Structure 1
Amino acid sequence: MTVLLYQTDSYLQTFDATVIDVDEANHGVILDRTAFYPGGGGQPADRGTLTFGPH
Structure 2
Amino acid sequence: MAAGKKAKNMAKAAKGKAKETTGKTVGNESLEMKGKAEQVAAQARQTGEKAKDTLRH
Q: TM-score, normalised by structure 1?
A: 0.30
Q: RCO (CA 8 Å, sep 6+): is it higher in 1 or 2?
A: 2
Which of the pair is proportionally richer in helix? 2
Q: TM-score, normalised by structure 2?
A: 0.29
Which of the pair is proportionally richer in strand? 1
Which has the higher Rg, Structure 1 or Structure 2?
2
